[in-house]
Amino acid sequence: MDSGSPRQVIITLACPSTTGIVAAVSTCLSERGWNIIESAQFVDRDRQRFFMRLSCETEAGEGNAGGLRQAFEPIAARFAMEWNVWNPAEKPRLLIMVSRFGHCLNDLLYRYSIGALPVEIVGIASNHRDFEAFTAGHGLPFHYLPVTRDTKAEQEGRLLELVEAERVDLVVLARYMQVWSDDLCRRLAGRAINIHHSFLPSFKGAKPYHQAHRRGVKLIGATAHYVTPDLDEGPIIEQDLSRVSHAMSAEDYTAIGRDIESVVLARAVKLHVERRVFINGDCTVVFG
Contacts of 19 (CB under 8 A, 6+ apart): none
Supply the pLDDT for residue 6.
Answer: 75
Supply the pLDDT for residue 67.
Answer: 82
Contacts of 149 (CB under 8 A, 6+ apart): none
Supply the pLDDT for residue 29.
Answer: 94
What whole-number distance in Å separates Cα of residue 257 and Cα of residue 48? Answer: 37
Other CB atoms within 10 A of residue 20 CB? 11
What whole-number distance in Å separates Cα of residue 83 and Cα of residue 95? Answer: 25
Catalytic residue among 2, 169, 182, 232: 232
Supply the pLDDT for residue 206.
Answer: 74
Supply the pLDDT for residue 3.
Answer: 45
Q: How many CA atoms lie within 13 A of 195 on its CB side?
A: 34
CA dist 113 to 121, 124, 178, 185, Å?
10, 15, 27, 29
**Helical (H) or strand (E) element with 195:** strand 192-197
Within 150-286, where are the H helices?
Answer: 152-165, 182-187, 208-214, 250-273
Supply the pLDDT for residue 210.
Answer: 87
Residue 259 known to be catalytic: no
pLDDT tens string, the chain, 288 residues long: the values are 544 567 899 999 999 999 999 999 999 999 988 999 999 999 999 999 999 999 999 986 545 667 888 999 999 999 999 999 999 999 999 999 999 999 999 999 999 999 999 999 999 999 999 999 999 999 999 999 999 999 999 999 999 999 999 999 999 999 999 999 999 999 999 999 999 988 655 777 778 888 888 888 899 999 999 999 998 899 999 999 999 999 999 999 999 999 999 999 999 999 999 999 999 999 999 998
Residue 56 phi/psi, 5-degree rounding, is -130, 155
